[in-house]
Structure 1
Amino acid sequence: MSGAPPVDGQDWRVFHATGAAPEGPPNPLPEAPPWRRFRGGPALPAPPDDDAAARRRLGQVDSVPQLDEETIDIVNAALVLRRPLLVTGPPGVGKSTLAYLISRELGLGRVLEWNIVSRTALRDGLYAYDALGRAQAIGTWRAGMLAPLEPEGHERGAADQALLTLGDFVTLGPLGTALLPYDRPRVLLVDELDKSDIDLPNDLLHVLENGSYDIPELVRDTADSARVHTSDPGLHAVVRHGRVECREFPVVVITSNGEREFPAAFRRRCLPLEMRSPTRAQLLTMVQSHFRALPSHAEDLVDIFIRQAQSGGTHSLDQLLNAVQLTTNGDFQADGSGRRLIEVLLRDLSKGR
């Protein structure tokens, strides 16, 4: 393998793009640089896994590298330096899958996804405050206070009012959850940032640099701490004095289809990674990962897919997987009457139909 020579016989890289989960306790990451260390706490329990989502993205992979050496080195540099990855490349080349590959191999738990659209603002990724829901809950509680006492003489008071605490109406977004104080970094996928409003990359600068943010509604609250919802289903976290700060900067994978340029100040804080089209060997490895064994027509379909991609236009790895799946059903003939259907599945997506 290429890259820097090992120090004292130890490879400097912790990520090798195998996609295989660790058999025992995951290996620790190298210590963060002094300028990328943070003070958040107390530490939260390790996040849950989401094996179903990882299998959908990666399949059941063997310990075979799925990326080229240069890409693996850039990912490792981002891990060592605690810097976001800005991943560019054509649609469907596997940019967002990289986040799942990193998470599974390093044992970092469920990937937090933040899908960007033109209306997305920074606060959408940090947290949401349901002010209307809280107002309705307070109105319901006050109406109950005015109602007659229950037969047993139960007084509606502190116990009922506790249900109206401010934190019950705050939910951290994917970015906000990724910045909670975990002992090991979370993996955050910021998908298709180039579709955002022009201000969002600049708005991200402060958060990505400082690893922290404030929730103004909780800062103004009289309580010292609040128990809030997170982006992990059914889980909560305690926020003190309205401020969230990470302990380990998350592994941030930001994808872009190259539809726009980002400000220099934003690009300076990220490591650039251009994803190239997979080689034939890598495509066969990906197909085998999803199907456990290589189906009979897989190599022929991979060759057709490569020819289509080399002729220009836009093609997605999903198209190849769909075509392979179809050939495994019954007596479907990929080289006979079904050839036209295969061509439809592997068509150029840049065309209108």
Structure 2
Amino acid sequence: MTEQDTSAPPVPPPAWRVFHATGKSPAGDPPALPEPPPWRVFAGSPVQPEPPDDAQATRRRLGVVQEGPQLREEEIDAVNAALLLRRPLLVTGPPGVGKSTLAYLIAHELGLGRVLPWSIVSRTTLRGGLYEYDAIGRAQAIAAWRAGGETGAAADGAGAPDLGDFVTLGPLGTALLAHARPRVLLVDELDKSDIDLPNDLLHVLENGSYDIPELVRSSVGEVSVFTDDPQRRAVIEAGRVECAEFPVVVITSNGEREFPAAFRRRCLPLEMRPPGREQLISIVVSHLRRRPEGVSALVDEFEQRLHSGGTQSVDQLLNAVQLTTADGFQDDEDGRKLIEMLLRDLSKGR
């Protein structure tokens, strides 16, 4: 008589989830997103063409997808809650834990096209994220066109510079265009911004819209402008941009500062912890496309450094594995010095 298997069957994921953190792109039609809450419905137009993809950037970030979820259960739930509620995710955690990679994982798995990265520095402004207007370039173009009036080109308005040729939408401005499916916007390291930028973002994140004053003042009803997507343009009506689907906004922070309560109220918090041993091995295999010999020892050493309170990045582990598997690498005294240098504690500033 054979012994019966008393192990419990695997528990299926909750039905309300559309994102499972497997990193697998949809084989057919992308999964349908949940309906937004009534207070997060937008009616922007005209609807833009389907956005481009960026397979190369995705491969750099994700490597080759492995079996199983790439995140913890509570992290997957937080992402799905943000998708359901149409709210930005405020992702915190130590450097190198995969905060910005999350945006690429979401975009790839849900088939949402190219991620729109907005890297924040102390000089970043809200307007720069929304759009740029080249006033000098337009003035020069108008002067050159008027100078051509001697040949009669300017007399009847032929060849006049197009206002839209001097307007370029930034990552935030492009994400808020009217798309049939939401774009993924990565606001990277917001804690490095000027103190006013989080507050400046409040109105845009709440209303899902903005105006371009240079186009509002124009007598032209429809203007075609450049977007943050390479070689793409978009039609703006009456100088106003409003989304049709609120974008998936992933805001990362290394915890270098506190954000205002009004800003945090509009975001869902997600604290990412360093990956466990099996996750680390999976990350190495996905990026190197194989499981190198001796990787377990390096992963164990990396984990010990993490548990001892050091500040480490997964990039350091990948670099160390790549170096030690190079042809001719010797694990002698000089080799150990190189490994120590690659796995150094980042909090010590050297």
Short-chain TM bin: over 0.9
Whether contact under 8 Å (1:4, 1:12) holds in the other structure is no
**Which residue is 1:99 aligned to?**
103
For 2:280 and 2:133, locate their aligned partners in 1 and report how far apart those are by CA, in whole Å: 44
**Which residue is 1:251 aligned to?**
248
Segment of structure 1 superposing worse, 319-328 or 267-276: 319-328
Alignment of 1:279 with 2:276, yes or no, is yes
For 2:10 and 2:212, locate their aligned partners in 1 and report how far apart those are by CA, in whole Å: 45
Alignment of 1:119 with 2:116, yes or no, is no
For 2:68 and 2:243, locate their aligned partners in 1 and report how far apart those are by CA, in whole Å: 33
Alignment of 1:27 with 2:24, yes or no, is no
- Pick from 158, 166, 170: which aligns with 1:169? 166
- Pick from 88, 93, 97: which aligns with 1:89? 93
- Report the Cα offset of residue 63 of structure 1: 3.4
Write out aligned runs for 1:129-208 (5 A).
129-146=133-150, 148=151, 157-161=156-160, 164-208=161-205
**SS of the counterpart of 2:347?**
coil
**Which residue is 1:352 aligned to?**
349
For 1:74 and 1:31, locate their aligned partners in 2 and report how far apart those are by CA, in whole Å: 17
Residue 28 and residue 335 in structure 1: after superposition, are their counterparts in 2 closer, same or farther (change >3 A)? farther
- Pick from 289, 313, 316: which aligns with 2:310? 313
For 1:335 and 1:245, locate their aligned partners in 2 and report how far apart those are by CA, in whole Å: 60
* 1:101-134 CA-partner distances (Å, limit 9, x unpaired): 1010001010001111111111010000000000
Alignment of 1:304 with 2:301, yes or no, is yes
Corresponding letter in the other structure for 2:263: F
| TM-score computed with the length of structure 2 as normaliser | 0.94
Whether contact under 8 Å (1:38, 1:245) holds in the other structure is yes
For 1:12 and 1:136, locate their aligned partners in 2 and report how far apart those are by CA, in whole Å: 55
For 1:40 and 1:207, locate their aligned partners in 2 and report how far apart those are by CA, in whole Å: 14
For 1:193 and 1:262, locate their aligned partners in 2 and report how far apart those are by CA, in whole Å: 9
| TM-score computed with the length of structure 1 as normaliser | 0.93
- Report the Cα offset of residue 313 of structure 1: 2.9
* 1:192-224 CA-partner distances (Å, limit 9, x unpaired): 101111111111011001100000000000001
Measured on the aligned residues, the alpha-carbon RMSD in Å equals: 1.8
Ranges in structure 2 where 5+ consecutive residues have no aligned partner? 1-8
- Report the Cα offset of residue 97 of structure 1: 0.5
Residue 247 and residue 3 in structure 1: after superposition, are their counterparts in 2 closer, same or farther (change >3 A)? farther
- Report the Cα offset of residue 268 of structure 1: 0.5
- Report the Cα offset of residue 65 of structure 1: 0.8
For 1:197 and 1:4, locate their aligned partners in 2 and report how far apart those are by CA, in whole Å: 44
Counting aligned pairs with the same residue, the percent is 70
- Pick from 60, 68, 73: which aligns with 2:72? 68
